Structure 1
């Protein structure tokens, strides 16, 4: 095994479909052992990118490398990758153990050895003892784990996951995504994960690559993308964000002095020059305090437009000079009434200047 095993690289990759360009230009490197999520709205190019890596689509230009080898023109069965599909793609007439062993036997492994390896795969995903069942006798979450086991027993350099949890209900999605992440970290394999679900991406990823119109809009850790979005698109797509007008008064090295409403903040400048600018403010970046309806130092004045009790939090819409803001208060259990004056204080995180 070389240090490059599991490394992935896209070099100036382009994909055209007739006169339509799905991916104009893609440069991307994935280190061995990372779980990288391709995230974006429908039509952003993430699935096309995954299919090019799998060998199911051929780039119109550029090169794709896996483990340091140029695989751009290699067929899918010679790329040393396996894919887990959202539909599971299990053979309904075969037992679970036979489903897992199928790929091994197709590759030339003897039946006894393949069934032993398949049993080890079931143990990996916590389904020991269920090998004789048919897929229809398993829950959706169990079927997805069988699909993961079938992919892993082939010992690929890279595991590809295409919307793997989209057929599961919300509670089951949370559990299975945790299991996939724990398995990936324990075994240390490289994984490329495609989803349109922001919460899913934040939960499982070492890195998130957000795509828009076939290009990389931002690439970073989940925390970087959430706390320091590069644009209004990222701020709105990764979680929710309020976009607020502000003024950059001055710069000191890489810090900016920013005034918004009655508050002054010092934030990373991120290349923004003095003058009018915009802030992305997360809903939980505010502390909600009763106000008197008058402007004052240190916050934004407003009035409650709506209040929704959500058990562990209260969700507000606040109207004020900055426009209508969506605010989450996790401290109080009793909502303020509609029309109540409030002052929104900045808590110190979840605020970033954006281009």
Structure 2
């Protein structure tokens, strides 16, 4: 294997059928060495099937899967040089932490003393030195997750697979552990494929996000590209929240389009738009709540004070809009007339 290809992953025209049902019609995807790529999408979109095919737990009906430049399509899981971290952690409750981490090494033929030394180094990597003699039940949920990651990393796989790894943690712990996983991946430089349905999680940890819908790639790009330039209404709504409203493209010059929304006009990336009616995705915090000036008219349906911002529902000719206002002003009363200006950074033309 070429060392430059170590950790590279490639799906070539992969199809997966379950009887008459086609879960993955055709998947072409390449993951570069050292990237953390997240497969994101709603339930039933094909992301877990894709991960299981990469792990060797499912076999493609057609096509090929390559890891490190080697065709592994028909190889069993134990010959693929990948390891998986499951959402349930799958730790042995009767074994100490260090024995859990050493288990895979010993099963692979390494002597017990050598396996335990390597396991100790793995625990140090994830910040759990000194906890090797404890049982999993004596650790917090976040610590158990790190044990599962350490157990996978000591095997030195080409690719680490993470299947909804934070789903069993509470919201605050999820934020902390996802940061730890990302820092560890960047520090060690391993390739990781991460499956989640949580958009915030995907935005926080990923080099690239592959959004899947009905077994196909709906959009593939960096977190910023997907958030700021969604390719469709589905992406705009799924990655963060977005208001999708009608607009008019007045003119297109080069890669910029002049558009009109209500009484406001602004310039945006054209994205293959042509003059005429179009659709615009606007993030809730891209609206400026004003009493006058160009923009969209409406009335306050509801207002919720959330400390650092106010969340409004605004009803008007553009429909029911969700707006986040961080200006620091007091909430407007129900029924109050408003005008919504637009900040170009949070608006994008969509197909």
Which TM class, normalised by the smaller chain length?
over 0.9
Q: Quote the Cα distance in structure 1 between the aligned partners of 2:256 and 2:79.
A: 50
| 2:282 and 2:346 in contact (8 A); partners too | yes
Q: Quote the Cα distance in structure 1 between the aligned partners of 2:329 and 2:194.
A: 38
Q: Are residue 268 (structure 1) and residue 269 (structure 2) matched?
A: yes
Report deviation, 1:160.
0.1
Superposed CA deviations along residues 6-44 of structure 1, whole A, max 9, x for unmatched, are 000000000000000000000000000000000000000
Q: Are residue 279 (structure 1) and residue 276 (structure 2) matched?
A: no
Superposed CA deviations along residues 215-268 of structure 1, whole A, max 9, x for unmatched, are 000000000000000000000000000001011111101211111101111111
| 2:252 and 2:273 in contact (8 A); partners too | no
TM superposition score normalised by structure 2: 0.99
Paired residues, what number? 350
Q: Quote the Cα distance in structure 1 between the aligned partners of 2:274 and 2:159.
A: 42
Q: Quote the Cα distance in structure 2 between the aligned partners of 1:328 and 1:20.
A: 42
SS of 1:349 mapped into structure 2: helix
Q: Quote the Cα distance in structure 2 between the aligned partners of 1:333 and 1:92.
A: 53
SS of 1:200 mapped into structure 2: helix
Q: Are residue 186 (structure 1) and residue 187 (structure 2) matched?
A: yes
SS of 2:280 mapped into structure 1: strand
Q: Quote the Cα distance in structure 2 between the aligned partners of 1:200 and 1:3.
A: 29
Counterpart of 1:308 in structure 2 is 304
SS of 2:230 mapped into structure 1: coil
Counterpart of 1:343 in structure 2 is 339
| Paired residues for 1:110-125 under 5 Å | 110-125=111-126
Unaligned 5+ runs, structure 2: none
Report deviation, 1:349.
0.8
Q: Quote the Cα distance in structure 2 between the aligned partners of 1:347 and 1:256.
A: 15
Q: Are residue 321 (structure 1) and residue 317 (structure 2) matched?
A: yes
Counterpart of 1:256 in structure 2 is 257
Report deviation, 1:298.
2.2
| Paired residues for 1:95-244 under 5 Å | 95-244=96-245
Unaligned 5+ runs, structure 1: 292-296
Q: Quote the Cα distance in structure 2 between the aligned partners of 1:29 and 1:213.
A: 19
Q: Quote the Cα distance in structure 2 between the aligned partners of 1:228 and 1:39.
A: 17
| 1:312 and 1:333 in contact (8 A); partners too | no
TM superposition score normalised by structure 1: 0.97
